Amino acid sequence: MAEFPTTARVVIIGGGVVGTSTLYHLAKAGWKDCVLLEKNELTAGSTWHAAGNVPNFAGSWAVMNMQRYSAEMYRTLGEDVGYPMNYHVSGSVRLAHSKERMLEFERVAGMGRYQGLQMDICTPEELLQYNPFMETHDLEGGMWDPLDGDIDPAQLTQALAKGARDAGGRIERFCPVTGMERDGDEWIVKTDKGDIRCEYVVNCAGYYAQRIGEMFRPFGGRTVPMVVMSHQYFLTEPVPELEAWTKENGRKIALLRDVDVSYYLRQEKNGLNLGPYERNCKAHWVTPDDPMPEDFSFQLYPDDLERLEYYIEDAMARLPLLAEAGVGRNINGPIAYAPDGLPMIGPMPGVKNAFEGHSFTFGIAQGGGAGKVLSEWIMHGETELDMWACDPRRYTDYTDHDYCLSKALETYGHEYAMHFPHHEWPAGRNKKLSPVDAKIRELGGQMGAYNGWERANWFAKPGDDTSEDATQTWDRNGPWAPRVKEEVEAVRDGVGVLDLPGFSRFNLSGEGAAEYLSGLIAGALPQTGRMNLAYFPDSRGRVLTEMSVMRHGEDEFTLITAATAQWHDYDVLGRNLPERLSLTDHTTEYSTLIVTGPDARTLFEKIGTRADLSARWLSVQPATVSGIGCALARVSFAGELGWEIHAANADIPALYDAVLGAGAVPFGMYALNSMRIEKGYRAWKGDLSTDYSLLEAGMERFIRFDKPQDFPGKQALLNEKQQGSKKQFVTLVVDAGDQDAPYMAPLFHDGEVVGETTSGDWGYRVGKSVALGMLRKELTVPGTEVEVEIFGQRRRAVVQDDQPLWDPANERIRA
């Protein structure tokens, strides 16, 4: 037996499919000195034994990419590592009971086409060629995915382990981790077998990830936001008709997913496997009287079939063969859920050289891609594709136990739910409230959650339908549409006010702060009393993040960024912060009011503002507004004359009342989104992400190649500038129908996919449907016609001049 390792480069905690996949990818990349510590056996979880390749889309581009990679990897893995595997590609049919679900399938099929995946939209009759035993009389149709299937989890995990060992990785079984210490730049991972010193640690502990996460609390960590859910499925005895059909056709029947009822039903050998995601679901280990056991390996929860009765009855009606089969075995085991149902893959928030890869609701389907992504994070500090949807830093300090539990119950019970663009999920709300939250709701504010902060999406009037049911549509027009139009027109013709709590807000100061910041951004810093946009590239010149930089002195700055970027951008700023500098987070201490429109200056004069209201665009100044001290920043994301009022939380109510009293009309996030798209302003993690370089994103004016400071990605951007970008950011006017272009809708030219949209909305000031997106460079000539696929319909779209659609000369914002 090999001697227990006392040092390693990377220690991976947890021996499920994600942990072994990470070890496999690291070892194959040449990182030999890596160790995986497994508590017991290498396994893909104590109960979860099969999953489809693309089980749950939820509109996540990152997850689709990860699952596509897994499917491609698994096809040859057994042969690659010399370990036979049972991998059955049976294909799957997804059933639609409504036109709304069929539209979702059209959307998913379009996203698949962009990735080179063929998913076909089917009539009810066409579905029978894939699964001839089901009833289809009550269906609108469905979708056929030819790559879906199932795989033996034990074989998959052992194949990954063998490949990792053969490439130089090491696995220590029966070696639970008992603690964590830090010595300088090294981690000390404590186990019953001894200590291991290492550079990097990865938490891949599955449903034990929260317990392992607590070991990192003394080093800047947080309680991992997750909940363990009870998932049941049962296996039937063999079904003679199924066995005969399989022999005759030489394959299994297609996996069936009734996403509207919420279950999957697939062939397991010659029997059936039914797995519901029931609305009356249950979490475990969430109360003091139900503590998590020290070891739950190879154990199950007691059967609780009463929860499944409705789903069993529905499945029997859908596939009558199920009613003829005897129940062979029921399985009820733990499955980890993050609040949004997506995994956590990436840097551990607040902890240096620590990473996470856990909370996989579909671990097998995602495991191959997850190992690739985690190994990229560890080796390079960045990933090939943008993975923000799975980044652990997407959650911040609002994710208390109540939030995690209520969201996990909601997400599990709506595993296959449609994610409509105007729908707000009701669980886990009101975690962070604006100082004027009550006033906003009194005015009719219909709220949405942004990094836990409640903001008004639109303002309803008496008689408007504000029910949750009214938002269950893909269409542009709903009860909100006339109100959003009115809000935009109020900003266009007069003055509006948007209450905007939760801007991420950091102060950076100390001798050399300007030099340090200049080395992180591609462009120049503003002068004292000014502000500008700064873009932070990664090593490839891609858009890592965007921040507004306000300069108060030579080495004194405030940086403001998106609410959702709080922990991500604090990490970007502080990752290599010199000890002489100070970086502090003031997000919860201040709030912001956006006052914008052609009458904004008059409004400020009316309420007794002591400030230079003639100060030019992008100026920042201390001010007194209605007798209250604050800061005024002359900037407007709406594309009109305007200012942002930045003030302490305690002063916001009086300021808001003063602005409203002077005639400002409250407007919401929907109106702001419409106006920013008309101006071509990019949104972070939609239009701006690490999928695109600064040059592709049209941000060359924010790059200073000749500045004395080097910055990440400079050489990559110089190379791209010399060789020319292959694609370019464009604004498109779309001949849309009832829906505007969604995120990541494919763009076509002469029948070929040539790009994708990054966002879209109706422009109320220009009276047109507008999309922003990336297009093959040679097609970006203004006037070029392409097609954008919107829910299965290809709509004409025309490339616009490289300038805003609204106020192209920016005369209004500089008035």
pLDDT tens by residue, 186-234 = 999 999 999 999 999 999 999 999 999 999 999 999 999 999 999 999 8
Find out whether 251 and 86 touch, Cβ atoms under 8 Å. no
% pLDDT > 90, the chain: 88
pLDDT, position 44: 55
Amino acid at 70: S
Three-state DSSP class for residue 188: strand
Q: Rounded distance, CA 270 to CA 237, Å?
A: 8
Q: Rounded distance, CA 487 to CA 445, Å?
A: 12
Angle between helices 61-81 and 363-380 (to 10 degrees): 90
CA 600 to chain centre: 36
Secondary structure string (H, E, C) spanning 495-544: CEEEECCCCEEEEEECCCHHHHHHCCCCCCCCCCCEEEEEEEECCCCEEE
Mean pLDDT of 662-671: 98
Q: Rounded distance, CA 461 to CA 380, Å?
A: 52
Instruction: Give the list of residues 6+ apart from residue 248 with CB closer than 8 angstroms, or none.
Output: none
Amino acid at 144: W
Q: Rounded distance, CA 168 to CA 28, Å?
A: 8
Q: Which helix (H) or strand (E) holds 267?
A: strand 263-268
Q: Hey, which residues does 761 pair with through a beta bridge?
A: 770
CA 560 to chain centre: 21
Find out whether 394 and 388 touch, Cβ atoms under 8 Å. yes
Strand-strand pairing, 263-268 and 496-499: unpaired
Q: Enter the tokens of residue 458.
A: 């639109």
Can you point out the beta strands (E) in 706-801? 727-734, 746-749, 752-763, 768-776, 785-790, 793-799
Instruction: Give the list of residues 6+ apart from residue 706 with CB closer than 8 angstroms, or none.
Output: none
Q: What band does 64 get if pLDDT is binned at 50, 70 and 90?
A: confident
Residue 52, pLDDT above cutoff 80: no
Q: Rounded distance, CA 95 to CA 121, Å?
A: 10
Query: Distance from first CA to last CA of the chain, Å, rounded?
Result: 78
Mean pLDDT of 306-318: 94
Mean pLDDT of 400-418: 96
Q: How far is CA 754 from CA 115, 254, 773, in A?
A: 12, 32, 11
pLDDT, position 326: 83
Look up residue 167 and give its DSSP letter: T
Instruction: Enter the pTM of the model.
Output: 0.96
Find out whether 172 and 193 touch, Cβ atoms under 8 Å. yes
Q: Enter the tokens of residue 240.
A: 């003679």
Taking all residues of the chain, what is their mean pLDDT, rounded to a whole number?
94
Mean pLDDT of 56-72: 75
Q: How many CB atoms lie within 10 A of CB 11?
A: 25
Helices (H) and strands (E) in the chain, counts: 19, 39
Q: What band does 528 get if pLDDT is binned at 50, 70 and 90?
A: very high
Q: Rounded distance, CA 655 to CA 661, Å?
A: 10
Span 480-527, pLDDT tens digits: 999 999 999 999 999 999 999 999 999 999 999 999 999 999 999 999
Pick from 293, 5, 317: nearest CA to 171: 5
Q: How many CB atoms lie within 10 A of CB 227?
A: 26
- C-alpha angle with apex 260: 254 to 266, nearest 5 degrees? 25
Span 583-623, pLDDT tens digits: 999 999 999 999 999 999 999 999 999 999 999 999 999 99
Q: Rounded distance, CA 556 to CA 809, Å?
A: 32
DSSP 295-357: --TT--PPP-GGGGHHHHHHHHHHSTHHHHSPEEEEEEEEEEE-TTS--EEEEPTT-TTEEEE
Residue 786, pLDDT above cutoff 50: yes
Find out whether 20 and 161 touch, Cβ atoms under 8 Å. yes
B/e letters for 366-390, b = 16+ CB within 10 Å, e = fewer, are bbbbbbbbbbbbbeeebbebbbbbb
Mean pLDDT of 9-33: 96
Instruction: Give the list of residues 6+ apart from residue 527 with CB closer than 8 angstroms, or none.
Output: 551
Span 363-394, pLDDT tens digits: 888 899 999 999 999 999 999 999 999 999 99
Residue 58, pLDDT above cutoff 50: no
Instruction: Give the list of residues 6+ apart from residue 638 with CB closer than 8 angstroms, or none.
Output: 491, 496, 594, 596, 597, 671, 672, 675, 676, 679
Q: Rounded distance, CA 219 to CA 234, Å?
A: 43
φ, ψ at 422 (rounded to 5°): -110, 15
Q: How many CB atoms lie within 10 A of CB 510?
A: 16
Strand-strand pairing, 141-145 and 120-122: antiparallel
**Dihedral (CA of 720, 721, 727, 729) sign:** positive
Residue 46, pLDDT above cutoff 80: no
Q: Rounded distance, CA 157 to CA 19, Å?
A: 9
Rg (CA), the chain: 27
Instruction: Give the list of residues 6+ apart from residue 294 with CB closer than 8 angstroms, or none.
Output: none
Look up residue 740 and give its DSSP letter: P
pLDDT, position 152: 85
Q: What band does 112 get if pLDDT is binned at 50, 70 and 90?
A: confident
pLDDT, position 43: 58
Q: What band does 361 get if pLDDT is binned at 50, 70 and 90?
A: confident
Q: Rounded distance, CA 102 to CA 130, Å?
A: 18
Q: Rounded distance, CA 65 to CA 534, Å?
A: 29
Find out whether 189 and 202 touch, Cβ atoms under 8 Å. no
Q: How far is CA 445 from CA 296, 419, 480, 687, in A?
A: 47, 21, 11, 27
Q: Hey, which residues does 445 pair with through a beta bridge?
A: 459
Span 644-653, pLDDT tens digits: 999 999 999 9
